[in-house]
Amino acid sequence: MYLNNNDIHLTAVSQRDVYDFSFSDCKDLFELSAIVPRYAKLGETVVLRCNHTVVENQLYKVQWTKSGDKLFQYIRGRVPPYINHTIPGAKIDWGQTKPSELALMDVQHDASGQYACTVTLESPIYSKTSEYHDLTVIKIQNIDPTIEIFKEVFSVGDMLDATCTSGPSKPVPEITWLVNGRRPPDTYMKPIVKAALDSASAMRLTFPVSDKLGAEVQLTCLSTIPGFLNHKADYHDYADYRSSSIIGNYWVKI
């Protein structure tokens, strides 16, 4: 059969159009998101969930990666269906692991990193990767922060001077002062750098005493991971939360 140039041109365009349609159509074949806890306590078990809308008979593979390195794969029809690679700082809990859920037990600091999952269809062959999400393994504080204040009675115009030191943790906790329940301006708080703190943190508070404080001053030190969220947050909102308060010990001479 003889084909002229027009026939060849029309055939090439037709193939390209079919390819473009298939590729764009695959982009929205299913929804995908990775559910990764932001923080995990040292030694506990965490479950990473790969949420997708692929029906079972179309699912070919689910793969987990950490910072781009393969950790784990589920391949439908394979015997056994799971392939696990090296997982730094954790072990797989096979009792809780499922095709779209990866359970990591006895997590250590090396398990911290960015995690994502990739889902692959069987037909048409198409893969989609979720966004990466941070997981940080923390060693929580085992003691409340300590407050030290250098003067017990103040007059209006005096400078109140106090320091707060947290217990050790990893990562190092962040300290926030509250004066009568409110966070003072950042200019009144200054971190203290001490090599001897050993994974603890310290913060100095200095602010002028005014009659607006009232006759009694309440100082509260929060030592938290992450840092201070807002005044509406409570300890449930933090991965690690410790506080100490001194109430009614410092009287202002007005």
Encode pLDDT of 197-210 as tens digits: 568 999 999 988 87
- The predicted model gives 39-63 an average pLDDT of 94
Q: At 36, is the pLDDT very low, low, confident or very high (cuts 50, 70, 90)?
A: very high
Q: How far is residue 53's CA from residue 33's CA, in Å, rounded to a whole number?
A: 10
Mean pLDDT, the chain, integer = 84
Using the predicted structure, report yes or no on whether residue 17 has a pLDDT greater than 70: no
pTM score: 0.77
- The predicted model gives 145-149 an average pLDDT of 93
